[in-house]
Structures are given as structure tokens and as C-alpha cells.
Amino acid sequence: MKITHKKGKGDKIHISVDGEYAFTVDEVFFAGLCLDEKREYSAEELREITEKAGERRAYNYAVSLLSRRDHSVKEITDKLTQKGYGQYASYVAEKLAKQGYLSDERFAEMYVRELLSLKNYGKKRIRQELIRKGVSRDIIETVLSEAEFPDGRLRELIEKKYMRFLDTEKGVQKTINALLRLGYSYGEIRDALKEIAENEEFYEVMYE
């Protein structure tokens, strides 16, 4: 089988086998192949080249994802699979981890900070989200134990977003349910509401 190539856009090189398009690679990978377009390649040689090219494309795709933000190992393998690179997902994830580009620990630390600052999630909800991202429980507990949960954060959240609901029993319950969904415990919510209770009537609504 004859293997030929044609320059594409950017750093793309289109590979053809016996005159028919087969796959696309980048210039760096193509240079490393050292193809001789005058010789015949066996089916086994073509299979090996195709396999390496697939691994390279999967790797490049994963790197492009990581250039935008950190991902968990599960996220990367899931996205590679969705893109059609499932057979290379484990290989690529392992390679990126060895190179230091992929780390569940680093991802978890970043994600906890994001969920704290942007979502105002409590510890329980953060734990659930990290589990959903495929982070191991050992890493989750370590990261959560080291994360900063400022005192008064829940009280400030209530004062900022929920004060207008606290003048009725129904509103108080609505607030409690919303905060439970954000991952705060009922005890944490009771304590925060107690701190901001401004009058006896409001206190009675919460604690009758």
C-alpha cells in the first residue's frame, strides 16, 4: 500500500492510502513518521501508523481541553470517548498524568475554590459535585479538610439573597430548602438564621 500526504490548513497534514483519504495528523507527528512515499507499506505497518495517529489526535484533543481549564481524569476520559477516542482514553489520561498535565488533586482544589466563590455551595454539595466528577473520596476529604470556609459565609449569603423571604413561615421554609440544596446542613442553617434574627417575631417564625 502506498501512503501519500497533502498539506491542509494550519499544521494539518492529510494522509491518504492508495489515493484515498485515511486520516489527518499534525506536522510534528508527520515529521516523526519519516514516511517514504515511494515504498509499499504492509497492512501491519499501516495499522501501527493508524494507531499511533489516533493516539496523537486523542492526545492533542485532551491537551486543547486542558489548555482552557483543569479537568478531572474522569472528565477527560469521558470527553475523549464522546469525541470518538474512547479506545485511546486510558492511554492518553495516563500519559497526561505522568507529564503533570492532568491531576485530580489539582482539579479538586481548583473546583472547590470555584464552587465556593461562584456557586456559594456548602461542604455537602461540594463533596457531591466532586464525586460526580470522578474524584476519589480520599482526595475529596483531603482537599475539603484544607479548604477555607470563612466564618459567617452562610450568614452573609442569607443576608444578600434571602432576607426578603424571612418575614413569613413559608418564606423561612423556602429559604431553608434552598440552602439545603446548596449543601448546607440544617444545623448550619439554623445557626445562621439565629444570628440574623432581628426581632422576637422573626425568631418565633423560625423556632416555634
**Residues 52, 13: one domain?**
yes
The whole-angstrom separation of Cα 193 and Cα 158 is 8
**Residues 187, 142: one domain?**
no
**Residues 116, 193: one domain?**
no
pLDDT at 196 (0 to 100):
85
The C-alpha cell 490548513 sits at: 9
**Residues 80, 47: one domain?**
yes
pTM for this prediction: 0.81
- Does the pLDDT value for residue 204 go beyond 80? no
Average pLDDT, the chain: 91
**Residues 94, 80: one domain?**
yes
**Residues 94, 8: one domain?**
yes
Q: How many structural domains comprise the chain?
A: 3
Amino acid letter, 105? E
**Residues 57, 108: one domain?**
no
Angle at 103 (CA atoms; ends 111, 24), nearest 5 degrees: 105
**Residues 86, 116: one domain?**
no
User: What DSSP element (H or E) covers 25?
Assistant: strand 20-26
Angle of the 186-196 helix axis to the 169-181 helix axis, nearest 10: 130
pLDDT digits (tens, 9 = 90+) for 102-160: 999 999 999 999 999 999 999 999 999 999 999 999 999 999 999 988 888 999 999 99
Amino acid letter, 22? A
**Residues 142, 157: one domain?**
no
- Does the pLDDT value for residue 206 go beyond 60? no
**Residues 134, 110: one domain?**
yes
**Residues 78, 131: one domain?**
no
**Residues 172, 203: one domain?**
yes
The CATH number of the domain holding residue 108 is 1.10.10
pLDDT digits (tens, 9 = 90+) for 57-67: 999 999 999 99
The CATH number of the domain holding residue 73 is 1.10.10.10
Tell me the mean pLDDT in the region 72-85: 97
Domain span including residue 182? 153-207
Angle at 185 (CA atoms; ends 182, 186), nearest 5 degrees: 115
